[in-house]
């Protein structure tokens, strides 16, 4: 089995174990995560370098969300409550794009990804996050749920696929 299939198998196992069931998921881990502020050190380090604003919807998100700005650009960072996984997206006037580790990064993106890696948080890529998962959520139709919705936010449309 190649690395990508092993990673998918591992991610699916974590999702199922955290929710307890594909058909009747349990969201108790959300309140536990919110009460512990597990990423406060990361947010403090980011805030010492950039403008950081918390941005999350407690009704739909299973991740902590942060708008990060430097002198010229903006990003949206989501850190999952399920496992030490993150998603970093560039914010443009007409939408979002996923920051992938195998591409050329700006200095700010390199700093953010270094902070995440030092904290043992794995940046997930768009191809993995776009794969289907058999989880039943409130906002996304069964059969349309992707790993992104299970790990970060139950939004009907993947954020990088939204029309501006």
Reply yes or no on whether the pLDDT at 154 is more than 60.
Answer: yes
C-alpha–C-alpha distance, residues 46 and 129, integer Å: 24
In order, the DSSP letters of 97-129 are: EE--TTS---HHHHHHHHHHHHTT-EEPPHHHH
**Per-residue CA distances from 18 to 48, 122, 157 (Å):** 32, 17, 23
What pTM does this model have?
0.93
Give the pLDDT of residue 148: 97
Beta bridge partners of 80: 63
Reply yes or no on whether the pLDDT at 26 is more than 70.
Answer: yes
C-alpha–C-alpha distance, residues 74 and 112, integer Å: 12
pLDDT 10s digits, 69-104 = 998 899 999 999 999 999 999 999 888 999 998 899
Is the distance from CB of 123 to CB of 149 less than 8 angstroms?
no
For the ranges 117-121, 138-142, 158-162, the one whose mean pLDDT is highest: 117-121
User: What SS3 class is residue 135?
Assistant: coil
Is the distance from CB of 107 to CB of 117 less than 8 angstroms?
no
CA dihedral 88, 120, 79, 108 (to 10 degrees): -30
C-alpha–C-alpha distance, residues 10 and 105, integer Å: 27
| Residue 97 tokens, joined | 């794009």
Q: What residues does each domain of the chain span?
A: 2-130
Give the pLDDT of residue 35: 86
């Amino acid at each position: 089995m190649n690395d990508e299939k092993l990673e998918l198998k591992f991610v699916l196992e974590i999702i199922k174990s955290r929710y307890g069931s594909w058909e009747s998921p349990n969201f108790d881990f959300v309140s536990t995560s919110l009460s512990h502020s597990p990423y406060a050190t990361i947010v403090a380090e980011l805030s010492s370098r950039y403008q950081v604003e918390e941005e999350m919807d407690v009704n739909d998100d299973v991740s902590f969300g942060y708008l990060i700005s430097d002198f010229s650009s903006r990003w949206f960072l989501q850190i999952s409550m399920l496992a030490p996984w993150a998603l970093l997206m560039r914010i443009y006037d007409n939408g979002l794009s996923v920051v992938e580790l195998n591409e050329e990064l700006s200095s700010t993106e390199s700093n953010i990804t270094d902070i995440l890696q030092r904290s043992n948080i794995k940046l997930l890529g768009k191809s993995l996050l776009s794969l289907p998962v058999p989880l039943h959520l409130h906002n996304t139709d069964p059969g349309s749920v992707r790993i992104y919705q299970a790990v970060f936010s139950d939004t009907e449309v993947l954020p990088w696929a939204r029309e501006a």
